[in-house]
Amino acid sequence: MSSPPQSSIGIFSRELRIDERSNDPYQMNQHAPDWEIVQDLLVPGPFCGRVKGVHTQSMQLILFERSNSTRVSASGPKNCFLCFFPIDSNHQTFYQGSQMRIGQIAITDPDECVESFNLGRSQIISIAIHETLAQSHAHAHGYDSFRSFVPRDCLLVQSINHMNLMKQAITEHIADHLEPRAPDSSNAVAVALEYNLMESIFSGSTCGPVAGGSRKHAQIAEEYLIHHPREPLDLIRICQQVGIPARCLQISFLKSFGISMKAYAHALRFNGVRRDLIAACPAEQSVKAIARHWGFCHMGRFSINYRRWFGECPVQTLKRLNGVKIR
């Protein structure tokens, strides 16, 4: 059994406290410190998000809450391993083409992009662990490196009871430190927290594969949609590239991402329009030009559907005075 380290590594600045709400997924992207996040709505409807976070000097705890289905592509703090898991087992989260089950924790390498699909309301805990702390923990348990301790392309699997206790401990810790009078945040307390969390996450875990065999077909289709978001969905052409029949491809995509290719392509186009409208200068670009650029030809129908998706007319998005920066 390893013993707690004597001092924290000193990567993050101390005393971070963040608790921000937003009705715009693009504005929500700005609230997570040290993160680069792009999140798209997958279905029309109002959005409400919240970011709550605290950290020690070498570990960051973030709780993301979203009220609507989203596709998230995110890179966390530099030189940190990221582990994340849903709190509520009633909603569906897809990570790398595999639906996460209760008790599973996803682990990514430093500087690796996290991509997930969250269907419906979601609450996800994300923990950024600086690689020095991760390697030190692996060495203390007799491993040469963190990746020999926790292999790539695997999900950690914990017992349901253990996972529930860990969720409760993390959420209570975040809540306690967001109070106006935070508890003692001395270095000794921070080090004990890091040690206890590392032991809680990695001790007693088993490793399971991330995705099934159908993932490769769905991934090819996803890459095609991402690189051709302005074009109408051409199922025949995509099937030719993937090399399987249309029905097999549609089933594979649905199993890997939880939504159909048609719905995904539709979401890409509407979110692309919204990003361009937010970033545009009203004096230089028009709604019509941006909409046509994304393949929308009927302006009346486009405006009605855009309002269904985002709760405002496209011209309101274009002319907002304090536009949200999109990264």
User: Can you give the residue ranges of every domain in the chain?
Assistant: 17-209, 212-258, 275-327
Cα–Cα distance for residue pair 300/282, rounded to 1 Å? 19
pLDDT tens digits along 15-74: 678 899 998 888 887 788 788 998 999 999 999 999 998 888 889 999 999 999 999 999
Higher pLDDT, 117 or 211: 117
Please tell me the predicted confidence (pLDDT) of residue 44. Answer: 94
CB atoms within 10 A of CB 3: 7
Cα–Cα distance for residue pair 133/313, rounded to 1 Å? 48
Q: Which CATH architecture has domain 17-209?
A: Sandwich (2.60)
Identify the three-state secondary structure at position 118: strand
Placement of tokens 């129908």 in the chain: 301
Please tell me the predicted confidence (pLDDT) of residue 214. Answer: 62
Q: What token pair was written down for 73? A: 């592509």
Q: What token pair was written down for 43? A: 């279905």
Please report, as a single letter, which amino acid is at residue 16.
Answer: L
pLDDT tens digits along 90-104: 778 988 778 888 888
**Average pLDDT of span 248-277:** 92
Please tell me the predicted confidence (pLDDT) of residue 151. Answer: 84
Global pTM value: 0.85
pLDDT band at 10 (very low <50, low <70, confident <90, very high): low
Q: Which residues of 68-103 are buried (b: 16+ CB within 10 A; e: fewer)?
A: bbbbbebbbbeebbbbbbbbeeebbbbbbbbbbeeb
